[in-house]
Chain A
Amino acid sequence: MSTLDDKPKEVSDSGGFAILFFIVGLVASLVVGWVVFPKLLYSQKKQPFDFNHQLHNELVDDGCQSCHFFREDGSYAGVPKLEQCSGCHEEVQGETEDEAVFVNEYVANNREVPWLIYSRQPDCVFFSHAAHVKAGQMDCKTCHGDIGTSTTLKVYEENRITGYSRDIWGKNIAGFKKNTWDRMKMDDCSECHVKLGVNQTSVQTQKGACFVCHK
């Protein structure tokens, strides 16, 4: 028995294993990266109660702006306050459980609804709805999608690290998007800004480039 004879055999044996192990490692980490990681990264949160955009949209005259309006000073009001809703919802309407929750827990106690905002952005950015919707003539859908026709509110997925909604990065964990409203990251803003040649200076800072949006 010679040691010289044995060695190549061993090498070839472990070489097969090495490939197998490589594949196992590769597959396992791909599963972790693509499947497990997103599940771990985002916690699932429910809105205080469900809301039917479509139903409300049919009842109002002015589309999205009926509830999501611009204030007199030009600033954007965002999610409606309780005061706006309680005009119609002083009493329970319809038979849904959500309606009962809204009226009994919030309207009756004069408590603002702690909505989880899918499009909430970090505070380091200045964003003007007026500049985009009024001056830029963009529609709501370009960024927010078909929310106006939704009948139910989806689960709010909160990033455990940043605290922001999954909708900012986009549902696709790789960051790919099909529609303009799939993501709301800086790249998505700048994509449009570059395409349209937006290079004006910020009203607040009098500076261009980064400072158009960043404070």
Chain B
Amino acid sequence: MKIDRRSFLSLGVGAGAGIALSPLPWKLTDDSSIWTQMWPWTPVPRDGAVNYVNTASTICSGGCGLSVRKIDDRAVKVEGLKGYPGSNGNACIHCMAGIQMLYSPNAVKSPMKRTGKRGEGKWQPISWDEAISETAKKLGELRESGKASTLACILNSDYGTIPALFKQFLNAFGSPNFMRTPSYQDAYEMTLALMHQTDSMAVFDAENADFVLSFGSGIIDGWGSSVRMFKANSSWKEKNVKLVQIEPRLSNTAAKSDQWLPVNPGTELILALGIAHVIITESLYNKDFVEKYAEGFEDWTDNEGNKQKGFKNFVLEGYSPSYAARVTGIEANTIVKLAKDFAGASAPLALCGRGQGTTPGSIHEFMAVHALNALVGNINKKGGIWAMPKPDYIKWEQAKLDDTAREGLKVPRADGAGTEKFPHAKYLLTRLPEVINSAKESPIQALFVSGANPAYTLPDTKAVAKAFASIPFIVSFTSHMDETAEMADIILPNHGHFERYEDIPAPPGYNKPVVGLARPVISPQHNTRHVGDTLIAIAGKLGGTIAESFPWKSYEECLEKTMGENWTSIQESGVITNPDYEAPGWDTAFETSSKKFAFIPGNHNPGNNSLQIPVIEGNDNYRLTLIPYDSMRLAAGPVGNTPFVTKTVSEKVLKGNDICIEINPKTAEKYGLKQGQYAILTTPKGKAKVKTELSPGIMPDIIAMPRGLGHTGIDEYLAGKGININELIGPVEDPASGLDAAWGIKADLVKA
């Protein structure tokens, strides 16, 4: 007997037969099929009890009321909250994807102190006690050296208890430098201050308008309360309300409008006056309003006996439709017809604030558009623009001042707002970088930034970075590592947007008083602290009158006491509002000395000078003009896109990591550029590699670039995608207001 090949074959056959007679192959087949269908690394949502928490969004100022679906303690889905004023049952794309922000692996997890150089990204986690002690120590030194006024705070809003706490802190500390990030609200507030003499907010009865003339406002591109404006736009379609969109680029709003008028960018002011010319010439204006409730329409003689030109003659002499046509590029016939249609509607509404309104714009443009509303008498009327008082529910005792504080508060603001040069401006943050950079020693020695990301959102990023570099002490209260936090010395992270209480008053443009309540949906995921509590703690550490100015143990106590008897109802319904609010009638609406609307405010008469469109930066060597544009799919404010939202951005906007620049095919041909080519974009502020995107929806010789890309911070999913337009564009100071009136910048585009 010999063991040979056959023996082994037999062994194999036997083994095969044995295996086939065992459950092994069948069980393995079954298991591997389960394994391939249910990859073990695919996350499976945990089962649990479903519950909902109603809250309001703090992601942006848009004012979405939200209902967050939770499974046990985990937030899983964001839906619109039914009945919430404006957004009523719907939510914007950023709110809906906000869960990703909440559970972002890149959230700031504890207080941190910078260890490397500024912007190097080297941080050391420190305890809350250390962080607050160190901040208070630095601030204390500032006060001791008589520099209390050099503390500045930058926030994205000046309504609500959080901004109020910062203002209280600055007052008690002794600094006038509270700053709100710029937006069209600055220009509207100033317009109302000049023409109504009221300290109020411009709000719009958009749902009841029957003709909407938008001077570039991105009605469905995120302007105002975005969801509310989407709904208003839908209701206009149902009711056959005409929307005329005036802007040089075929935005989503323009594409969905009834009439798109591509206007030479920056000339909207002249167009508004051209329309006014037709309304006046054809006597189409509301005589009741203009004659009884307005002043400055006809020429007048002032107290000193000087003759002053009224609005009527100012417009008639300087802004005929043919002149307006020459400047704006819109035919005179079109202007005449537009004016007649506008004045002929029963509730015509003219709006301004380009795109999402992140740049204030020329004050004269706002005043001219507001004058159109005044001509047709649609101020404080159904379907018109209303001047609504600012929220006034915060009634705290004023900050207690010691001598240092009193001295500090006498110092003029660093940004020049409210000074002799810019008496009407409240905040001029866009001027601050230049002020700091041209000073020997920075007039700002310490900076608090909360809810804002000026290092990203302010124009001329390089100048902002340079200015920040010369501020010795920067504290960021961010919950995500944004561009401003990258430049900070200490980060005192706030709770995430679904982890904290906060009152959310006055959704922009909404014409009823609203105070929403953001509340904790989940408990804080990291070692963060409510910014209100942090501020109270710093004040406590500083002691003296500063500590006395904060009589609350916690932010929650502060909020509860501020809300007073409304605390219970706001907790139950998530919002306090007054749906029956009506704007005051014409007889009581205006606070001018004559109690009338001022077409030309006494202290703001342009006289015989014609109004100029703001001149943008760049000489004639630049062959093109670059304008920014906004999209709902790109968060251009302090908060960046979440990965979900970035997935929705078209390849015509962002291709891979390359940003696409819209250029008219004719212009592209003229300069030898083709679709999808790499090109070098140059402006007086900088240079960037971009991709060309040929689009007949942009006027010839204009190129457009989206806002909201080119982050260096926030998280690795967003950083490095595209270019931040603020690197390529600088502020343009409106000579009349000091506000940023930049609508573009001269540029050149050549094949890379």
Which residues does A use to contact B, with CB under 8 Å? 10, 13-14, 16-30, 32-34, 37, 41, 71, 73, 75, 77-78, 81, 122-124, 159, 161-164, 169, 173-175
CA distance A10 to B11 in the complex (A): 18
Check A26 against B14 for contact (C-beta < 8 Å). yes
Check B14 against A22 for contact (C-beta < 8 Å). yes
Q: State which of A29, A71, A123, A169 has its C-beta within 8 Å of the C-beta of B14.
A: A29
B28 contacts across to A, CB distance below 8 A = 161
30 contacts across the A-B interface (CB closer than 8 A): A14-B1, A16-B1, A17-B3, A17-B4, A17-B6, A17-B10, A22-B13, A22-B14, A23-B14, A24-B14, A25-B15, A25-B17, A26-B14, A26-B21, A28-B14, A29-B19, A30-B21, A32-B18, A33-B24, A37-B24, A41-B31, A73-B50, A75-B50, A123-B38, A159-B31, A161-B31, A169-B30, A173-B23, A173-B27, A174-B23
Check A28 against B18 for contact (C-beta < 8 Å). yes
A73 contacts across to B, CB distance below 8 A = 50
Check A26 against B7 for contact (C-beta < 8 Å). no
CA distance A71 to B47 in the complex (A): 12
Q: State which of A26, A33, A78, A159 has its C-beta within 8 Å of the C-beta of B47.
A: A78
A124 contacts across to B, CB distance below 8 A = 37-38
Give min CB distance, B417 to chain A, whole Å: 50
CA distance A124 to B12 in the complex (A): 39
Q: Mark B192-215, 1 if CB is under 8 A from A, else 0.
A: 000000000000000000000000
A32 contacts across to B, CB distance below 8 A = 18-19, 22, 24
Query: Within 8 Å of chain A (Cβ to Cβ): is B566?
Result: no
Give min CB distance, B219 to chain A, whole Å: 37
B13 contacts across to A, CB distance below 8 A = 22, 25
Q: Mark B24-52, 1 if CB is under 8 A from A, else 0.
A: 10111011101101101000110101100
Q: Mark B559-581, 1 if CB is under 8 A from A, else 0.
A: 00000000000000000000000
Q: State which of A17, A30, A71, A122 has its C-beta within 8 Å of the C-beta of B22.
A: A30
A34 contacts across to B, CB distance below 8 A = 22-23
Residue in B closest to A27 when the chains form the complex, CB atoms: B18
Residue picked from A17, A23, A159, most chain B C-beta under 10 Å: A17
CA distance A18 to B12 in the complex (A): 10
Query: Within 8 Å of chain A (Cβ to Cβ): is B2?
Result: yes
Total interface residues in chain B, CB < 8 Å:
39
Which residues does B use to contact A, with CB under 8 Å? 1-4, 6-19, 21-24, 26-28, 30-32, 34-35, 37-38, 40, 44-45, 47, 49-50, 72
Residue in B closest to A15 when the chains form the complex, CB atoms: B6
B45 contacts across to A, CB distance below 8 A = 123
Residue in B closest to A10 when the chains form the complex, CB atoms: B2
Residue in A closest to B44 when the chains form the complex, CB atoms: A123
Check B40 against A169 for contact (C-beta < 8 Å). no
Residue in A closest to B45 when the chains form the complex, CB atoms: A123
B34 contacts across to A, CB distance below 8 A = 122, 161-162, 164
Check B1 against A26 for contact (C-beta < 8 Å). no
A24 contacts across to B, CB distance below 8 A = 11, 14
A81 contacts across to B, CB distance below 8 A = 72
Q: State which of B19, B38, B49 has its C-beta within 8 Å of the C-beta of A75.
A: B49
Q: State which of B6, B14, B18 has its C-beta within 8 Å of the C-beta of A14.
A: B6
Check A21 against B10 for contact (C-beta < 8 Å). yes
CA distance A14 to B3 in the complex (A): 7
A77 contacts across to B, CB distance below 8 A = 49
CA distance A21 to B5 in the complex (A): 11
CA distance A16 to B10 in the complex (A): 10
B18 contacts across to A, CB distance below 8 A = 25-30, 32-33
Check A122 against B14 for contact (C-beta < 8 Å). no
CA distance A174 to B31 in the complex (A): 13
Check B7 against A162 for contact (C-beta < 8 Å). no
Give min CB distance, B272 to chain A, whole Å: 55
B31 contacts across to A, CB distance below 8 A = 41, 159, 161-162
Q: State which of B6, B26, B35, B38 has its C-beta within 8 Å of the C-beta of A18.
A: B6
B1 contacts across to A, CB distance below 8 A = 13-14, 16-17
CA distance A24 to B11 in the complex (A): 7
A17 contacts across to B, CB distance below 8 A = 1-4, 6-7, 10
Check A21 against B50 for contact (C-beta < 8 Å). no
Check A37 against B27 for contact (C-beta < 8 Å). yes
CA distance A21 to B9 in the complex (A): 8
With known contacts A25-B11, A29-B18, A162-B35, A169–B6 Cβ distance under 8 A: no
B72 contacts across to A, CB distance below 8 A = 81
CA distance A27 to B30 in the complex (A): 24
Residue in B closest to A175 when the chains form the complex, CB atoms: B23
CA distance A161 to B27 in the complex (A): 11
Give min CB distance, B117 to chain A, whole Å: 41
Residue in A closest to B4 when the chains form the complex, CB atoms: A14
Check A161 against B23 for contact (C-beta < 8 Å). no
CA distance A174 to B27 in the complex (A): 8
Give min CB distance, B101 to chain A, whole Å: 25
CA distance A81 to B72 in the complex (A): 10
Give min CB distance, B520 to chain A, whole Å: 17
What 8 A-B pairs are tightest by C-beta distance, nearest first? A33-B22, A25-B14, A29-B18, A25-B15, A22-B14, A18-B10, A26-B14, A33-B24
CA distance A173 to B21 in the complex (A): 12
A41 contacts across to B, CB distance below 8 A = 27, 31
CA distance A22 to B12 in the complex (A): 7
Check B24 against A122 for contact (C-beta < 8 Å). no
Give min CB distance, A16 to chain B, whole Å: 6
CA distance A73 to B51 in the complex (A): 10
Check B35 against A21 for contact (C-beta < 8 Å). no
CA distance A41 to B14 in the complex (A): 23
Residue in A closest to B3 when the chains form the complex, CB atoms: A17
Residue picked from A18, A41, A124, A159, most chain B C-beta under 10 Å: A18
B44 contacts across to A, CB distance below 8 A = 123
CA distance A37 to B26 in the complex (A): 12
Give min CB distance, A18 to chain B, whole Å: 4
CA distance A30 to B24 in the complex (A): 9
CA distance A169 to B6 in the complex (A): 38
Check A22 against B50 for contact (C-beta < 8 Å). no
CA distance A61 to B72 in the complex (A): 26
Given A22-B10, A33-B19, A164-B34, 9 more pairs with CB closer than 8 A? A10-B2, A17-B7, A24-B14, A25-B18, A26-B14, A29-B14, A30-B22, A71-B49, A75-B50
Residue in B closest to A162 when the chains form the complex, CB atoms: B34
Residue in B closest to A71 when the chains form the complex, CB atoms: B49
Check B10 against A29 for contact (C-beta < 8 Å). no
CA distance A74 to B231 in the complex (A): 35
CA distance A84 to B41 in the complex (A): 31
A13 contacts across to B, CB distance below 8 A = 1-2
B26 contacts across to A, CB distance below 8 A = 175
Give min CB distance, A166 to chain B, whole Å: 11
Check A161 against B35 for contact (C-beta < 8 Å). yes
Residue in B closest to A72 when the chains form the complex, CB atoms: B49
CA distance A124 to B28 in the complex (A): 20
Check A26 against B8 for contact (C-beta < 8 Å). no
CA distance A122 to B16 in the complex (A): 32
CA distance A123 to B1 in the complex (A): 58
A14 contacts across to B, CB distance below 8 A = 1-2, 4, 6-7
CA distance A17 to B31 in the complex (A): 37
A16 contacts across to B, CB distance below 8 A = 1
With known contacts A26-B17, A29-B16, A174-B23, A21–B8 Cβ distance under 8 A: yes
